[in-house]
Amino acid sequence: MLARIVVVWCVVSTLMQLADCYNVLVVFGHPGKSHYDVFKPLFQELGERGHNITIISHVKTQGDIQNVRDVLLSDQPVVNVLNMSSFTGSWIQKFLEAEMIAKFAELTCEAALQSENLQNFLLEDNKFDIILTELFNTNCFYGILTKYKSPYIGLSSTYMLSWHASWFGAPVSPSYIPDIYMAYLPPMSFLQRVENTLMHLVNVFWYKVFMEKPGTELSLKYTGYEPADLHNASLLFVNSHYTLHGVRPLPPSIVEVGGMHVVNRKANQLPKNIEKWTNESPSGLIYFSMGSLVKGHSFPENQLKAFLNVFRKLPQRILWKWETETMKDKPDNVMLTKWAPQFDILCHPNTVLFISHGGLLGTTEAVHCGVPTLLLPIFGDQPLNAEAVKSHGAGVKLKWKDAIKKNIKEALEEALSTEKKQNMKALSKRFRDRLVSPLQTAVYWIEYIAKNTGQYLRSPAINMPFYQYFLLDVILFYLVLFSVVVYVSFKLGSKCCARKKNKIKVN
């Protein structure tokens, strides 16, 4: 009898699982691996829950995601391609960031869209319950969304881009909401608000003209479909959290999932050579990495010498992510490595500081692990991320052009202080203290949208003309009404005065 009950229960459980399994399509057209890595734990969780996942990307899953099919757009993702000398840190550079990612899209779109794997896939008769797609620097892949006519959710591996807000009806106010390429946190001065407003307008214009327009042409050419209108997206998952980047009003259709890639992750033991190097440093370890896109070894020579001269006198050991075998005049307390398990290093109890370019993945990992940071932002969202950490007193921001021996020494001393350590621990505690983990939040909403197909979370602001959204028609109405009242009052007053004057004359 017991055996029968167990068999029946197993069958029922299996059928229930099958009933709740969805066909999920993931579209990640951008080749930057760090963008994909933010959401990889989400794909893994969906696979473990029994959903069937098809991933269009530049990253091979290598058997680490269940129930998955790869549709590879290229042989490998893009890593270590940018030279640090290309970024001057000038005032005008931040206004050219949108141009840079537009050029990236131009190089990526056509090659990826005409790949044999994708074209063969598009010829198949596939159906999907829901689509997850990155919303970044182009709409050239959004014809795929139109083809399958499924509800879709946007993924942003960064803080919200300038063109995201209007798609989801989120309030846009440059008076206190910083643009992603503008490292001004509120309260902003008058000139900062002027610059922040200009940056927002420039970026929205650049997307419309230099990313959306050519992307539409490429989508039609290679998918046969117009790109989907992102105003019809069901949700947007944003890799941010108010504890780090500050508070901004968001509609229910924008869900913050910052920390998704680390929140349920446990640090593994380090490779033996790194473990030995770390444990044998009585004053702790400093980890130095400029991320996956920038070539760490492309340091300008004068600044490399400045760092080495300062490092040489430190009691701590330094582990430096460096893409070549050697480094000229390397001090004995510096160890080079072409690759390092960053999260495991940052969460190691002997790690006392993280020197970074301020990329959001590394910054999030440092906050999660509670490690103070010295941030050397170069481009993109890095200055804003650095400013966010600095505003919490959890790290030090040093502009790249100011990285000379004296400034490096002072910045390191400040970053290694007890105050910065305590502030980062407090920030880490706030960041990790969630009612529901960001990963489970994302999974819930994906399954919710798949089950309840429709756009129930869309803001009414999405369909409003700009003059209604900004109440320009109402303001005009009140101005006209006020003008009429003033005019009538003036006329009546004039007549009354004229009558009184006439009476006086008659008398």
155-195 tens-digit pLDDT: 999 999 999 999 999 998 999 999 999 989 999 999 999 99
Q: List the one residue out of 196, 246, 215 whose CA is nearest residue 141.
A: 215
Backbone angles phi, psi at 319, to 5 degrees: -105, 120
CATH number reported for the structural domain that contains residue 39 in this entry: 3.40.50.2000
234 in the same domain as 304:
no
> Which tens digits make up the pLDDT trace of 197-244?
999 999 999 999 999 999 999 999 999 999 999 999 999 999 999 999
> How much is the average pLDDT of 320-331?
90
CB neighbourhood size of 286 (10 A):
25
How many domains, the chain?
Answer: 3
The identity of residue 337, as a single letter, is T
321 in the same domain as 247:
no
422 in the same domain as 287:
yes
In a domain, 199, yes or no: no
443 in the same domain as 416:
no
Question: Where do the H-state alpha helices sit in 224-353?
Answer: 242-245, 272-279, 301-311, 342-346
Q: Could you tell me the residue range of the domain that residue 334 belongs to?
A: 272-432
In a domain, 31, yes or no: yes
> Which tens digits make up the pLDDT trace of 401-421?
888 899 999 999 999 999 999
241 in the same domain as 105:
yes
- Checking if the pLDDT of 88 tops 70, the result is no
- Checking if the pLDDT of 134 tops 60, the result is yes
**Cα angle value 331/337/339 (rounded, 5°):** 160
112 in the same domain as 219:
yes
In a domain, 184, yes or no: no
The mean-pLDDT minimum among 251-260, 383-392, 458-467 falls in 458-467
134 in the same domain as 55:
yes
In a domain, 1, yes or no: no
In a domain, 48, yes or no: yes
Q: How far is CA 39 from CA 157, 258, 447, 448, in A?
A: 8, 10, 16, 18
In a domain, 132, yes or no: yes
In a domain, 120, yes or no: yes
357 in the same domain as 389:
yes
Sorting pLDDT into bands at 50, 70 and 90, what band is 506? low
237 in the same domain as 164:
yes
Q: How far is the C-alpha of 107 from the C-alpha of 58, rounded, in Å?
A: 14
Looking at per-residue pLDDT, the higher value among 325 and 486 belongs to 486
